[in-house]
Amino acid sequence: MIEVKNLTKKYGDKLAVNDISFKVEKGEILGFLGPNGAGKSTTMNMLTGYISSTSGQVLIDGVDILEDPKKAKSNIGYLPEIPPLYIDMTVDAYLNFMFDLKKCKQPRKKHLEDICELCKISHVRKRLIKNLSKGYRQRVGLAQALLNKPPVIILDEPTVGLDPNQIIEIRTLIKQLGKRHTVILSSHILPEIQAVCDRIIIINKGQVAADGTADEIAKNISNEHKMTLRIEGPTHTKDDKTKIADALRSIDGITYVRADMEREKGIYDYDVETDGKTDVRRAINKLCAEKGWNILMLQLSDMTLEDIFLKITMSEGITASDSSNAPKLEVKVKDGELIASEKTDDNKEKADAETAEETDGSENNGGEE
Ligand code: ADP
Ligand code: MG
């Protein structure tokens, strides 16, 4: 349904999207996951023909978005990061206006009723958009995107700034849409993507860092990458701990060792990470045999998608990209969700804008909800 080949966007010297390729099949719900500034919106803007690409190609149902934008766009409904609403219009006037603009062919009255029903905005149709809460505005934006019944729906951070109840409602709606449409949505919030998407593409610094189902991504990346060892030394003291940790560090392929808690009397656990290429288990065995230490446990750690997301976006060696300009992530839990957001001066403005939006949203809440 959608095919993206080597898509690249440069803003001056800045490579916002760097050689992204992927396909989306009919009926799939695909999630773009990545920290702020990763290139999600830029990619979506190119997918929908909002902006042109520097190089690469986008095919929507076989139609090149730059060669025949009209035809390609007729297959897409887009809800950009900032919904294109005319806030001085009533919901009704706006949707009628968009109905005409998009040259919709359906019987107007019934079609608008159905869409409003689906997006749960029937009871606010007579209200001015500027008087609606952020949650309702988002639904009006979604209604607008659905007007011409496009087979492809693209939603950029559809739940940013919404309260938990509104988030659940929008998620439910997206899942429902996924039954009949191909959906791509973006988010910087992992649980959000996990909750609704069949497949995930992790985007980091303009590149695809992982692509697959949550399970596939976890499987591909975890391997024998991380493990916990319990090793018994000769003296059952802290001396053992230091010696064992140092010896483990000297093994080829081991990149990180942290002596953990004393799990049994005088016996410690060690968290070990490898370069991801070397299977170090035999070398560990050999080392312990030579020293006369006993391995009481060796457990490969399954990385959760959360670990992987944080790892990729903090550039700890999984992506090939340069880690020196890795985004600084601020991780916090808000409304029960893990939120990783990038903290750079580049994005300060953006972050401020988001905060302002959130405040805006909560002030307006009360009204119709
Ligand atoms: P995301 O949606 O993942 O937060 P964006 O696609 O908005 O990321 O941005 C990707 C990068 O491109 C960021 O570093 C951003 O600052 C930069 N960028 C986005 N739009 C522009 C623009 N119009 N001019 C210059 N740089 C831009
Ligand atoms: Mg964005």
CA of 201 to the centre of ligand 1 (A): 18
| Tens of pLDDT, residues 174-186 | 999 998 899 999 9
Which atom of ligand 1 is least distant from the CA of 38?
3
Cα(66)–Cα(128) distance, integer angstroms: 35
Phi, psi of 35 (to 5 degrees): -65, 170
Q: What is the pLDDT of residue 342?
A: 43
Q: What is the pLDDT of residue 309?
A: 79
Q: What is the pLDDT of residue 356?
A: 42
Residue nearest to atom 20 of ligand 1 (CA): 42
Query: Which segments of the chain are extended strands (E)?
Result: 2-11, 14-24, 29-33, 55-60, 63-64, 76-79, 152-156, 182-187, 199-204, 207-212, 226-232, 254-264, 267-274, 294-300, 329-334, 337-342
Phi, psi of 86 (to 5 degrees): -100, 100
| Tens of pLDDT, residues 238-276 | 899 999 999 999 999 999 999 988 888 899 999 998 887
Residue nearest to atom 26 of ligand 1 (CA): 11
CA of 168 to the centre of ligand 1 (A): 28
| Tens of pLDDT, residues 42-91 | 999 999 999 999 999 999 999 999 999 999 999 999 999 888 899 999 99
Sign of CA dihedral 78, 344, 317, 246: negative
Q: What is the pLDDT of residue 302?
A: 66
Cα(121)–Cα(91) distance, integer angstroms: 9
Residue nearest to atom 23 of ligand 1 (CA): 11
Q: What is the pLDDT of residue 181?
A: 92
Which atom of ligand 1 is least distant from the CA of 43?
6
Contacting residues for 140 by C-beta, under 8 A, at least 6 apart:
83, 85, 91, 94, 95, 119, 121, 129, 132
CA of 189 to the centre of ligand 2 (A): 12
Residues with a CB atom less than 6 Å from ligand 1: 11, 14, 16, 34, 36-42, 346
Residue nearest to atom 18 of ligand 1 (CA): 16
Residue nearest to atom 7 of ligand 1 (CA): 41
CA of 16 to the centre of ligand 1 (A): 6
Which atom of ligand 1 is least distant from the CA of 17?
10
CA of 55 to the centre of ligand 1 (A): 16
CA of 281 to the centre of ligand 2 (A): 42
CA of 43 to the centre of ligand 1 (A): 10
**Within a 10 A sphere around the Cβ of 332, how many other Cβ atoms?**
10
Which atom of ligand 1 is least distant from the CA of 44?
6
Q: What is the pLDDT of residue 56?
A: 95
pTM for the predicted model, two decimal places: 0.70
Which parts of the chain register pLDDT below 50? 316-369
Residue nearest to atom 27 of ligand 1 (CA): 11
Q: What is the pLDDT of residue 320?
A: 33
Which atom of ligand 1 is least distant from the CA of 14?
26
Cα(133)–Cα(366) distance, integer angstroms: 8
- Structural domains present in the chain: 2-220 (3.40.50.300), 223-300 (3.30.70.100)
